[in-house]
Amino acid sequence: MPPAVAGFTTSGDFTVGTKPRSIAIGNLNGDDHLDMAVVNSFSDNVSILLGTTEGSFGPATNFTTSPFPMSVSIGDLNGDGASDLVVGNGVMGLNTSVDVLTGTGTGSFGPPTSFDTGTTDPWQVVLGNFTGDGSLDIATASRFGAIAVLPGTGSGTFLAATTYPVGAYLTSIAAGDLNGDSRADLVAADADSDKVGVLLADGAGSFDSVVDYAVGHYPTSVAVGNLNGDAYPDVVVVDGFDDNASILLNAGTGVFGPRTTVATGDNSTSVAIGDLNQDTRADLAVTNRDEDTVAVLAGDGTGSFGEAADIPTGSQPAFVAIGNLNLDDLPDLAVATGDGEVSVFAVDPPAAPVLKAKIGKVKLKGSTKARRGKKSTYTVIITNSGQAAATGVTIKVRGKGIGAKVSVGTIRPAETTKAKVKFWPKKSGKVKVAFKITSKNAGNRTVTKNLTVKK
């Protein structure tokens, strides 16, 4: 694989199954490292990659799913403290259920248990507390246009699904509290109508009717996150046939303004939100299938984004996820490619700040009167206002008939030192005396004193 662009380091390529379609990041075995679950649509399984050190992963362990798995989510579905998996399946109208794989807490999973959704090809899944009872529920998006919500019991089983008509061809689903009522709402992308549908939770375990918002042609992936720093979750959708992303900013009530767009790349397939350049603003990562890249778009904190910076990937990247995979407290990228691999790109840590020393405030203490040929003594008070030690500090005194030099040495950062300067004036009269403080690395500063020298 080609090297990553500046700002990212390629951590490695990890073999999974055939045609990986979705990645979920979480702690699957209870250690200190994040792990990955990757569904493989052509090998009908989910690959588990357990994290080791510095963003590396052990060999994949595969667990069988129903045919054509297309998405995966991680959550503790039975309250035992171990992570479980939910897998969305289905292509060509051959499936109506989702799979639940119960975790052991060691990174291993039991056989799939299927739960009917009442929809055909529920291929996209997301977890959330949609009914407000504290248990995780499953929401699915169907290839044939409906959302299904399966209420969780808290014991790993699910009640009968409730379905909501949303569109004709749903390609992605995401969840978030869009109107600030502490309830999880839903957003789904409809590639047939070039819209996203928003369903707000009604507080009674159900959802209001869908509200549609126009986006670009053939939206393929939707994500929810705060894009403009106002504390309200916004929506971003990649428009696969327009090679851009649509940004929908939230008014704070779950109502969204008209879209703005930003260019992404050729045939964009997936989008994720995270602060990828450590400036506290939300950025975007977008996979571009026909360019074999993942594009990073830096956010400016207002909901606008800069030009895409492309990171070369393997062939036909299908999905991108963001997580702290190497325990450096910085977000990394995981990209599923058509090569049957997940490529990990670590965000480079910010460069260490360059600490500088600086001669700051200088004060003089001493008399304004002197006698010719007699000793005059001044106290020079010097402050290093910088963040590094000031080295080679000296004081040079110059004036008509006056000269002296004193070595001060080193002044530590943010500290003040005092030095005594002595000189013997050679001429009488009014003399302007310059005290010049110099340093090898902290610049210089000059202060003056008007001196009356008597015979």
DSSP state of 353: P
Dist. CA 375–CA 395, nearest whole Å = 17
Of 308, 340, 307, 345, give the one whose Cα is nearest residue 325.
345
DSSP state of 9: E
The reported pLDDT for the residue numbered 13 is 95
Dist. CA 284–CA 272, nearest whole Å = 6
Three-state secondary structure call for residue 161: coil
Q: What is the mean pLDDT of residues 310-319?
A: 96
Q: pLDDT band for position 382 (50/70/90)?
A: very high
Q: What is the mean pLDDT of residues 271-289?
A: 94
* 129 phi/psi in degrees, rounded to 5: -90, 80
Burial of residue 3 (number of CB atoms within 10 Å: 0-12, 13-18, 19+) = exposed
What are 191-247's pLDDT values in tens digits?
999 999 999 999 788 999 999 999 999 999 999 999 999 989 999 999 999 999 999
Q: What is the mean pLDDT of residues 167-187?
A: 95
Between 354 and 169, where is the model more confident? 169
Three-state secondary structure call for residue 106: coil
Q: pLDDT band for position 11 (50/70/90)?
A: confident
Q: What is the mean pLDDT of residues 100-123?
A: 97
The reported pLDDT for the residue numbered 5 is 45
Dist. CA 294–CA 304, nearest whole Å = 19
The reported pLDDT for the residue numbered 350 is 72
CA angle 339, 344, 350 (to 5 degrees): 150
- Is pLDDT of 175 > 50? yes
Q: What is the mean pLDDT of residues 89-114?
A: 93
Other CB atoms within a 10 A radius of the CB of residue 389 amount to: 17
What are 21-30's pLDDT values in tens digits?
999 999 999 9
Radius of gyration of the chain (CA): 32
Between 88 and 7, where is the model more confident? 88
Dist. CA 80–CA 78, nearest whole Å = 6
Q: pLDDT band for position 72 (50/70/90)?
A: very high
Dist. CA 74–CA 287, nearest whole Å = 22
Dist. CA 17–CA 45, nearest whole Å = 7
- Is pLDDT of 272 > 80? yes
Question: Percent of the chain at pLDDT above 90?
Answer: 88
Q: What is the mean pLDDT of residues 301-305?
A: 94
Q: What mean pLDDT is reported for the chain?
A: 94
Q: Which amino acid is at 418?
A: K
Q: Give me the residues paired with residue 306 across strands.
A: none
The reported pLDDT for the residue numbered 204 is 80
Of 255, 260, 266, 257, give the one whose Cα is nearest residue 289.
266
- Is pLDDT of 129 > 90? yes
Dist. CA 8–CA 333, nearest whole Å = 9
The reported pLDDT for the residue numbered 1 is 42
In 348-441, DSSP assigns E strands to 359-365, 369-371, 376-384, 390-399, 402-411, 416-423, 429-438
The reported pLDDT for the residue numbered 107 is 97
Three-state secondary structure call for residue 273: strand
